[in-house]
Structure 1
C-alpha cells in the first residue's frame, strides 16, 4: 500500500511546526542571537522567500506549493483565533498586577475602546483617500474593515517585551492592560464591520453598539463566572495537578462556550486570567501549586509564542503583491502609526496629567508600543478570496512585519529612555511641591 500521498493529519501539522520552531530557535540562539520573536519571524519569512525563489528556478520542485498547502490545511485564522489565542491571553493575564491595573483603569478603558474605534475610523478614512489617489476601487466599508483588524495591539508581542523590561508599574499596567482588552474589542468591531461589508447593508451605529455591548459584555461576564468558579474550586483543595487542570478547563471550556454563544472569548480569557493570576494565586493556592501553575503557563506561553511568530514569517509565502498592492502595503505602515498616535493622544485627553501614563515619555512608549501581530493576520485571512482580500492582505503583512521587525526591535531603548525621564520627573516632584 502506498502511503506517500497520505494527507497530513492535525498531529503531523503540529509536529512540523514544533520541530521547525525548535530547529530555527536553536539556530537563532547560536547564530543570529536576535530576540526569539524577531528571529523566528525573520527566518520564517526568509524560508518563504527562498522557497519562492527555488520555485522560480526549478518549478518542478514546487516546494512553495507544498508549504502553502500545509498552511492552508493548518488554517492560520482558526488555529490562532479558536485555539492559540485563548491560551496566550490567559497566560499573559496571569502576570498582570490587578492593583496597578485598577489604578490605571481609566486610560486602559479609553485606549481599549475609544482608542480602537478612533484608530479604526482614522485608518479607514486615510486608506480610502490613498486608494482613491491610486485609482483603486476599494469601497469605504472595506477600508474600515482594515482599520478594525489593524487597530488592536497584539498582546503576545506587547506582553513579551514587558516581561523583559523593568517597566514602571503604572505604565506596565496600562500597556499590558490595553493589549489584553483591545484585541477583544478590535475583534468585535471587525466582526460587526465585516458583516456590514459582506451583506452590503448600510452600517448602523446603533445596531453596531448593540452588538458590541452583547459580545463584549457577554465575554466579560463569562470570564468573571469562569474565573470565580475556578477560584473556589482551587481554594477547596491542595493538589497542584488538579488545579493546573482546572486552569486548563477554564481556558478551553470558557473559550469554547464563548464561541458557541457568539460572544468575545478573548475578553473572557483576559478577565479569567486576571482573577486567577491575582486573587487565585494569593488566596486559593499553596506555594507549591502557585509555582507549578505559573511555570506551566510560562512554558505554554513560550511554546505557542515561538510557533505563532514562525507561522507569521511563513505566511509571507501567501502573498506575491502586485504593484498597486505593494504601494498600499507601504502606505499602510505610516497610516497605522499616525492613527495610533492620534488615538493615544485623544484617549488620554480625559486623563489628568500625573506621574503615570500621561507623561510625554509614557505616551511615546504607548504609541510606539502599539505592536501589531498574529491577530491582525488571522483576521485578514478570514476574508473570502478575491481582489479585496489580496489588497488588504498586503497592507496587513506590511504593517505587521514593520511592527515585529522595527517597532519591537527598537522599543527596548525607548522604554529605557522613558524610565529615565519618568524617574527624573518623580525625583523632582517633591522639590516642586515644597515651593
Structure 2
C-alpha cells in the first residue's frame, strides 16, 4: 500500500511541476522545477524512497532510450554521423580519463576506480533537459540533431565505462586487454540483441495482423514490451542492455517505415509514448530532488572522507567538476568541428566560438547520470561498504543541478541571434512529397470510381463525388507547383482556409458539448463526433 501511495505522489508531483513551470514568467527549465519540488516533498513529507539500483535502471532507462532511438530522424543523423561518433565515443573516453584523474587529484581519499566511475557517470548528456532549457530560445535544428545523436550513443558508452570502473573498484584489478574484449562483446552483443529481437517481434506481429486483423491496444502493448525484452535479454547474455534498447528503437523506426499499422494505432501509440516519456523523465528528476535532503544530511559525514571539516568543500568540488567537464567538452567540440570543416574542404575557417560554447553548455547532465550513479553497489565483495558511494552520489547530483542552471543562463545568451551555417531547406522536399501523394490519390480515386460505378444506374453520383474530391487534390498540386506571386497567393489562401476550418471545427465541437450538457445528445454519439473533430483539428493545426 505504501509503495502505491508513493508512486501516486510522484505522479502528482510530475503534473504539478508541469503546471508550475508553465506559469513561471522566467524560462526556468522543467527539470529544475521538478528537482526543487522533489526536495520540498523530501523535507516536508515523511516520504522516503529506497531506490534499488537494478530496479531503477530497468524501470526507467529502456523505454526512454528506446523512444529516443525510435524518434530520432535517421537521415538527419547520418549527415553528421562523424561528428556524432566523435562526441558520443571519443568525448566519453576523453572525459572519463581526464575528469577521472582530475577527481583523483582533487579528492585523494576517493579511490581511483571510484573516480573513474564518477567520471563515467557524468559523461552522458541529456537532450530532454536541453530541450526544456531552450524552449524560449530554440536550439538550431542541426545542432539539436547532433545533440540527440550524441546522447543516444554516449548513454551506452558512458554506462559501459561505468561498468568497467565499478568492476575494477570491486576486484581491485583492471586489464585493458580483457576490458577491450569485454567492450566488444558488450557492444556488439547488445546491438545484435536489440536489432534481432525487434525485427523478429515486428515480423511476427505483421504476420498475425495480416491473418486476423489489427487491434490497437495489443499493438501498443507490444511496443511497450519490446524495450524491456531487449534490455533483459541482453543483460541475461551479459551484453549491454542500454545498447540493446537503443538498437531496438532504431530498428523499430525502420520497421514502422513499411506503414502497416492502422492510423488509429499510430495516433494512440504516439499519445501513450508521449505520456510515458513525460512521466518517466519527470519521476526521475522528482526522485533526485526527494533524495537531496538525505544526501545533504549525510554531507557532514561525507565531507570527512575528503579530509576537510566544512561542507562548503563539497560545493567547491561540484563547481570544479563542472568546470572540468565544460573545459574538456569545449576542447573536444572545437577539435571535432575543426575536423568537420577540414573534411568539408574549409580548412582555412575556424569554428565560431559561440557555436562551440553553445555546444559545450548544451552538454547538460540529467536522468542517465542519476540512474547510473544509483547503480553503484552498496557493498564490496567482502561485505564492507562501497568506498565513497555517498560522496559520488552527492557530486553527481550536484553536477546535474549546476549544469542545468549554467545551461539555462548561458544557452539563451549564446543562441540569441546566433548565425548558424546554412541548412538545407525542407520546404521543397515537402512540396514534392505532397504533389506525388496527391497524384497517387487522384489515380486511385479514378480507379475506385470506375470500379464502383460500373453498370450502375446512379453512376453520375460516383462521378460527381469523385470530381469533388479530385478537385481538392488538384488544388493542392497547383498550390505546391506554383512559383512567385501566384504561389504565394495560393499559399496565403491555404493559410486563410486553414484558419477558417479551425474556427468552424471548434464551433462544431462547442455546439456538440452544449448539446451533451443539455442531454440533447447521447454520450456515445457525442464521443464519436468529437473524436472526428479532434482528428480534423489536429490535421489543420499541424
Question: Normalising to structure 1: TM-score of the pair?
Answer: 0.81
Task: Determine if the alignment matches structure 1 residue 224 to structure 2 residue 174.
Answer: no
Distance in 1 between residues matched to 2:345 and 2:22, nearest whole Å:
38
2:15 alignment partner in structure 1: 22
Q: How many residues align?
A: 394
After superposition, residues 37-52 of structure 1 pair within 5 angstroms as: 37-48=31-42, 50-51=43-44
After superposition, residues 24-423 of structure 1 pair within 5 angstroms as: 24-30=17-23, 34-48=28-42, 50-51=43-44, 66-67=46-47, 70-72=48-50, 74-75=51-52, 77-131=53-107, 136-158=108-130, 167-201=139-173, 203-236=174-207, 237=209, 238-320=214-296, 321=299, 322=303, 323=311, 324-348=313-337, 350-353=339-342, 354=344, 359-360=351-352, 361-383=354-376, 384=378, 385=385, 388-408=388-408, 410-418=410-418, 420-423=419-422
Query: Do 1:148 and 1:190's aligned partners in 2 also have CA atoms closer than 8 Å?
Result: yes
Q: Which has the higher contact order (CA 8 A, sep 6+)?
A: 1
Question: Normalising to structure 2: TM-score of the pair?
Answer: 0.66
CA distance 1:276–1:368, change in 2 (3 Å): same
| SS class of match (2:118) | helix
| SS class of match (2:2) | coil
CA distance 1:336–1:265, change in 2 (3 Å): same
Distance in 1 between residues matched to 2:417 and 2:39, nearest whole Å:
31
CA distance 1:27–1:169, change in 2 (3 Å): closer
Shift of 1:235: 4.1
Instruction: Return the index of the structure with the highest Cα Rg.
Output: 2
Distance in 2 between residues matched to 1:349 and 1:140, nearest whole Å:
33
Distance in 2 between residues matched to 1:103 and 1:423, nearest whole Å:
14
Query: Do 2:126 and 2:367's aligned partners in 1 also have CA atoms closer than 8 Å?
Result: yes
CA distance 1:38–1:293, change in 2 (3 Å): same
Distance in 1 between residues matched to 2:21 and 2:76, nearest whole Å:
35
CA distance 1:277–1:309, change in 2 (3 Å): same
Shift of 1:46: 4.1
Query: Do 1:162 and 1:176's aligned partners in 2 also have CA atoms closer than 8 Å?
Result: no
Query: Do 2:337 and 2:351's aligned partners in 1 also have CA atoms closer than 8 Å?
Result: no
Query: Do 2:198 and 2:248's aligned partners in 1 also have CA atoms closer than 8 Å?
Result: yes
CA distance 1:35–1:151, change in 2 (3 Å): closer
